[in-house]
Amino acid sequence: MIYFDNAATTFPKPEEVYHALDYAQRNLAFNAGRGSYNSALKCHEIIEKTRNYLCEKAMAKSLVFTSSATHAINYIINGLDFVEGDIVYFSPYDHNAVVRTLCAYSNEKKFIIKQIPLKNDTTLDLEKFEFECMRNKPKAIFCTHVSNVNGYILPIYQIGIISKNCSSTFVVDGAQAFGLIDVNMKDSFIDYYVFAGHKTLYGPLGIAGYFISNDNKKLKLSVFGGTGTNSLDVNMPQDGTIRYEPSSQNIVGIYGLLKSSQWVFSNKLLEREKYLYTYTLKELNKLDDIILYNLENNSDIYTGIISFNIKGFSSEDVSQILSNDYDICVRSGYHCCPFIHEKLDTKKYLGTVRISFGYFNTIVEIDALISALEDIIFE
């Protein structure tokens, strides 16, 4: 099998991660923070070590662990407690984890959601956006860091400056970015930064979280329950990340995340992805009937994700042929991103074919993909 769906989840994982998960299941599967015996205390130490390590990498004040990036985004949107008349912006590149959640809460609470404007080339129109923000004074701005459709790296530093000047809360979805691109929450004026452990951090499924830049800003709680502290008090703790983390922690996933993130930050993942991206884009440009949705001659604004179509084929047809006849895994469809697909005009192809690279992909695998695409086009 040749795997090019790393934007969905990276595969394979580093061997260190597989070893860590096996070790944790056998030796660390205890309830952290719920007992004074050594095993429980050791689990608590590992959780805090992981939290501190990742906070250091993001230049964040604190980190709340969740089971997925989608859950993290839901907790943040609900926690910001928007009211009727508030204006909230999101990027057309945003995933439905953001879009559907904003739509659901805006229908309930009657706040207004708007899109960050795009230029004709589908990059963000920051000049127009800044003008709109000065006029509308948004309560919050949501933006993905990297598009899961075509790997476009959004200019979050510039958006952060705009949000700061408008006193807006700035939330970044870093599911396709953290571990791949450097993050400095302080310098980028980011209030909340979401990550997914199983994507660019090469960790296991089931562990994710969000970083917080200022502990003095408290989100309204979405989930309540036991924390292992002050159990006679029926109210949730008021301070610290523990107020956002009721229930037993996923110590196995967190230990796997610790080992995966240590591996990630010791390797040059973006450099590897850009090498594979540049080579593939060059080869795709040699083929007839290929429609590309990445801007040419501008590889600096992309990670290792490419979207394309073949004239005369739906994206689903291409994906199925590659899977059934060549054992090559790609992604087809709209990738949970309705607005950018509308801008890219991909409906007649039922979305796009997406190639997303990981650290372990090779040029030999890319050549096999290009050869398969040639067969599809010329058969």
What residues contact 198, with CB distance under 8 A and at least 6 apart?
9, 10, 204, 205, 206, 207, 208
pLDDT value for 230: 81
Residue ranges per structural domain of the chain: 2-10+268-378, 15-264
pLDDT value for 149: 98
pLDDT value for 282: 95
Phi-psi category of residue 101: left, alpha or beta, with phi > 0 → left and psi -120 to 50 → alpha: alpha
pLDDT value for 242: 86
Q: How far apart are CA 117 and CA 360, in angstroms?
A: 36
Per-10-residue mean pLDDT for the chain, 379 residues long?
98 98 95 85 95 97 97 98 97 98 97 97 97 97 98 97 97 98 96 98 98 89 86 84 89 98 96 96 96 86 97 98 98 98 97 98 98 94
In contact, 349 and 315? CB cutoff 8 Å? yes
pLDDT value for 256: 98
* 2-10+268-378 belongs to CATH 3.20.20.60: no
What residues contact 107, with CB distance under 8 A and at least 6 apart?
none
Residue environment code for 98-131, b if the CB has 16+ CB neighbours within 10 A, otherwise e: bbbbbeebbeeeebebebbebeeebebebeebbe
Q: How far apart are CA 208 and CA 358, in angstroms?
A: 19
According to CATH, what is the number of the domain 15-264? 3.40.640.10
